[in-house]
Amino acid sequence: MNQYVIIVAGGKGLRMGSELPKQFLPIGNKLVLMHTLDVFRKYDPNLKIILVLPKEQQEFWKGLCEKYNFSVEHILADGGETRFHSVKNGLAKVQDHGLVGVHDGVRPFVSVEVIHNCYESAKKYKAVIPVIEVIETLRHLNSTGSETVSRNDYKLVQTPQVFDVDLLKQAYAQEYTPFFTDDASVVEAMGISVHLVAGNRENIKITTPFDLKVGSALL
């Protein structure tokens, strides 16, 4: 079965307080984005990797690949106005039937086991997302203030989110709305249920200087 992953990396580094987009910051001896591509290549040497980057960052990225002797094979797609449009541009590069994952470029610590479980489960369920338990107490804001809610009723969502290619293309043919915060929400808008698998807690999203410190410790 053909397997793809669309790695979305459109960050501008605003929350990082850096002029350099967070996907290009180093952790250890490699850049965040290079760590991310590496783990997917480790999962499957034949996986087709599509990297979505803003057009104005692509030449810079190519130069970084030369500088770091980074040779993981991938093709580039242009970033869009929103994450929705970026994923849609990546999907346009998928020409075959099979499975396609969508992953945040700044999640370099997803485990190979989680990636494997997502793709294997998607063969059966067609729409799969990794989640982890909520360990903090949650409060819901309401008209009178706030109230505690059961954390057992909630999960934290990660990526990669993996889907049947035809299903995800059908979903992304819908008109964009701001309620589409991830790929699962786009698929669910068609009335399709998603299957949950266990994620890994180390699979953090690098968005702040604190996250970068945690990432360095994890590495």
Q: Domain of 80: which CATH number?
A: 3.90.550.10
pTM of the model: 0.94
Nearest to 41 by CA among 70, 18, 1, 61: 70
Q: Which domain range does residue 153 map to?
A: 3-218
| Mean pLDDT, the chain, whole residue set | 94
Distance CA 67, CA 63 (A): 6
Number of structural domains found in the chain: 1
Does residue 74 contact residue 65 with C-beta atoms inside 8 Å? no
Average pLDDT over residues 53-62: 95
Please report, rounded to a whole number, the percentage of residues in the chain having pLDDT higher than 70: 96
Whole-number Cα distances in Å, 80 to 90, 104, 186: 10, 15, 16
